[in-house]
């Protein structure tokens, strides 16, 4: 991911968060003690270095949905639509598979990946418990990170459907967490997805 701020682009979610926090003097995570910060670090890495690889593995099996109406296809026309349908999915699948093989997760079986994902999800579910956010009543960067990856798992078409079934049946608090975050911070979620616009108020004007 990347952002553009004052004409400059900033990449990598961790550096983006730190830059935004510094630039706008944001107090996010300022209420966390040293033990909570340690948990934030550990669970962030669990999501970004383990659960994320499981999501990548799913794409490496079959990324054809990207070139359908459920993916990017409706947002392209002409030659770009042809490329989006016939070339991008195959390239994305090949690149992801190559990356995962080099990283290690690509050498696991689908069943092994599902087991890893379930353990990651159960760890997150246990830590969240009945709290609205991972560290209590205030959202943290861990909530933002967790929401991003869980939302991809839930709302993007999956090949390893057992992972989503596990979220629904075995970690319902994570499902409720995603719904809560979506309703609180993205009440115009449907419009954003339909229009690919981050500020739907500008479109309405």
Mark whether 198 and 109 lie in a shared domain.
Answer: yes
Q: Are residues 109 and 14 in the same domain?
A: no
Q: Do residues 174 and 181 make contact, with C-beta atoms less than 8 angstroms apart?
A: no
At 191 the pLDDT is 82
Q: Please tell me whether residues 96 and 48 are part of one structural domain.
A: yes
Exposed / middle / buried, residue 134 (Cβ in 10 Å: 0-12, 13-18, 19+): buried
Q: What is the pLDDT of residues 186-202, one digit of tens each?
A: 888 888 777 766 665 55
* Average pLDDT taken over every residue of the chain: 89
Asked whether residue 180 falls in the same domain as residue 197, the answer is: yes
Q: Which residues contact 170 (CB under 8 A, 6 or more apart)?
A: 118, 121, 122, 125
CB contact set of 191 (below 8 Å; sequence gap of 6+): 197, 200, 203
Could you tell me which of 189, 177, 109 has the C-alpha nearest to residue 143? 177
Higher-confidence residue of 204 and 15: namely 15
Question: Is 104 found in the same domain as 67?
Answer: yes
Q: Is 25 found in the same domain as 93?
A: no
Host domain of residue 197: 33-204
> Under DSSP, is residue 132 helix (H, G, I), strand (E, B) or coil?
coil
Same domain, 42 and 85: yes
177: domain CATH number is 1.20.1050.10
Burial 25-58 (b: 16+ CB within 10 A, else e): eeebbeebeeebeebbeebbebbeeebbbbbbbb
Q: Is 5 helix (H, G, I), strand (E, B) or coil?
A: strand
In the chain, what percentage of residues exceed pLDDT 70?
Answer: 95
Specify whether 153 is located in the same domain as 69: yes
The total number of structural domains in the chain stands at 2
pLDDT at 36: 97
Residue showing tokens 């959202």: 139
Q: Which pTM does this prediction carry? A: 0.85
Reported as a single tens digit per residue, the pLDDT across 89-120 is 899 899 999 999 999 999 999 999 999 999 99
Are residues 14 and 78 located together in one domain of the fold? Answer: no
Q: Are residues 158 and 170 in the same domain?
A: yes
Q: Which tops the pLDDT comparison, 204 or 165?
A: 165
- Residues 26 and 9 occupy one common structural domain: yes
pLDDT of residue 203: 46
Instruction: Give 11's strand partners.
Output: 2
Give yes or no: residues 79 and 173 share one domain. Answer: yes
């Amino acid at each position: 991911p990347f952002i553009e701020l004052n004409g400059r682009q900033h990449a990598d979610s961790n550096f983006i968060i730190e830059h935004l926090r510094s630039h706008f003097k944001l107090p996010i995570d300022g209420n966390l003690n040293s033990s909570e910060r340690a948990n934030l670090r550990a669970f962030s890495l669990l999501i970004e270095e383990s659960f994320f690889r499981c999501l990548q593995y799913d794409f490496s099996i079959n990324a054809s949905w990207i070139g359908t109406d459920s993916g990017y296809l409706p947002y392209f026309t002409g030659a770009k639509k042809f490329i989006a349908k016939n070339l991008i999915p195959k390239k994305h699948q090949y690149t992801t598979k190559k990356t995962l093989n080099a990283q290690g997760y690509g050498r696991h079986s689908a069943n092994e990946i599902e087991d890893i994902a379930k353990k990651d999800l159960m760890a997150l579910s246990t830590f969240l418990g009945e709290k609205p956010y991972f560290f209590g009543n205030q959202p943290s960067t861990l909530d933002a990170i967790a929401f991003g990856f869980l939302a991809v798992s839930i709302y993007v078409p999956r090949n390893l459907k057992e992972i989503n079934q596990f979220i629904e049946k075995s970690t319902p608090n994570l499902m409720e967490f995603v719904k809560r975050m979506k309703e609180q911070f993205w009440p115009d979620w449907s419009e954003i997805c339909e229009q690919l616009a981050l500020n739907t108020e500008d479109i309405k004007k």
